[in-house]
Structure 1
């Protein structure tokens, strides 16, 4: 029998509470997938989607039971669903977050969505610009990213949290992040998806997610949701685009080999 921890009143939850997560990548359709899963009767998703527990240095070294107590407020709506999850796409980017996930629950099922690395980088820039965290024009922001990230790290004393900015291109280096993930979790606990499939072949993709989580296929399937695309008003110059294609050429080639049926 699974151990339990008390929550409010007499309700009990399993421990560890969370048994699956959507951990990335940022700007790859994680919001759409989280909403699909939230509609499944066997799934309980955290309120607000992104919890940002494991990409915070405040959580390092905490016992799983203490982390569960932190999670309680995000699952007031839990009603005994067998699958309990959250979606914080920045987890994939931080090695310390991956280590924290394994410390919390080494049996976690992890879902990772990917998209064209160049388009992901441009979409991340647009997000930061729209949020008011980015004031630089797109061309220098992307081309000078390594210098800006180094300066930000020095200014913050080397700390990295989910609020770290200026990592548009670096977060598109998927292979490094997946290598870290694979050093902690076996392949059978990781599901890789392409965001294009979620948008264009969503029924097939959702069925693969349901199978991975070992839950039934609902009838009918939830209606299709829009997977956001890159905002064109922030497109860089032709010269910067050519530079980005060269910088991310290996990542794009790898993605094409991993998902040969995509059309982007």
Structure 2
């Protein structure tokens, strides 16, 4: 059985879904239908979709000799305390792709994503930011948040610390770092560079649609049903799919799509943005050194 030789390891809300989608159609790249299995993030137990090695390897059982690059995308591997070391122990020759962005923008975007998934119940980002200390002590936690640590926006988004740790495990020659700004500005060029890193030929892709834009639920109750369907209903659906021999039913997906609205986020308050920049300043400077690129523009209010 073949196993993955590259990993899109993070970070969340940095266009990893787009890169995953683009690579999935390449004839020499295999990526499983299950995005974000998070198998190696053992410290994020309740968040992992796949919890056994056999289940994990089954994700790649359809890979063939034509697939020179076999990979998966789990965006919290970089944040996880265990995942990167576990990935190295699994395949020390694996290639790692990291997609990173301005932590101020990342934190704000992550808050919106948590709201959409019902991990977060405080709709105002500044209020959610100010709840971090009390939530660290187990207070004011949303009922549906399976990993309270995800609500620690400062630590999740300090990417310099996380990249520094990764580079003590994997050699830099096996790590490809992509900045969100570069990916959005020159998607085609970055995509070609990724293919070169993975050692697969160009596939002639010309279309790079935007994927996973900022979104919200039109009706919260419907959103909660689609994101966290009742367990008895899930069991019935699984039995129904097995009886019919279907890969997926897609009913909840269709309901989710019809209830989803793409909306731009409002501008952050100037004083609050300055507070965020100050919080992330040291980490941005560290990341600048690690990627050997001036990121001082990230610290402009």
Q: TM-score over 0.5 for the alignment?
A: yes
Query: Displacement, 1:209?
Result: 0.6
* Structure 1, unpaired ranges of 5+: 1-12, 60-65, 153-160
Bigger drift between 253-262 and 143-152 goes to 253-262
Length, aligned pairs only? 235
Q: Structure 1 residues 227 and 170 mapped into 2: Cα distance closer, same or farther (>3 Å)?
A: farther
Output the aligned Cα RMSD.
2.7
Higher relative contact order (CA 8 A, sep 6+): 1
Query: Displacement, 1:182?
Result: 1.0
1:241 corresponding residue in structure 2: 273
Q: Structure 1 residues 162 and 44 mapped into 2: Cα distance closer, same or farther (>3 Å)?
A: farther
After superposition, give the CA deviation of every residue in 1:14-37 in whole Å (9 maximum; x if it has no partner). 3xx111000001110100011111
Counterpart secondary structure, 1:93: coil
2:135 corresponding residue in structure 1: 148
2:181 corresponding residue in structure 1: 196
1:228 and 1:263 map into 2 onto residues whose CA distance is 25
Q: How does 1:122-133 map to 2 (within 5 A)?
A: 122-133=108-119
| Aligned partner of 2:168 among 179, 183, 188 | 183
After superposition, give the CA deviation of every residue in 1:195-231 in whole Å (9 maximum; x if it has no partner). 122222012101211111111112x224112155666
Query: Displacement, 1:55?
Result: 1.2
1:10 corresponding residue in structure 2: none
- Structure 1 position 224 matched with structure 2 position 240: no
1:36 and 1:263 map into 2 onto residues whose CA distance is 29
Q: Structure 1 residues 141 and 234 mapped into 2: Cα distance closer, same or farther (>3 Å)?
A: farther
Query: Displacement, 1:92?
Result: 0.1
Provide TM-score, normalisation by structure 1.
Answer: 0.79
2:284 corresponding residue in structure 1: 252
Q: Structure 1 residues 247 and 164 mapped into 2: Cα distance closer, same or farther (>3 Å)?
A: closer
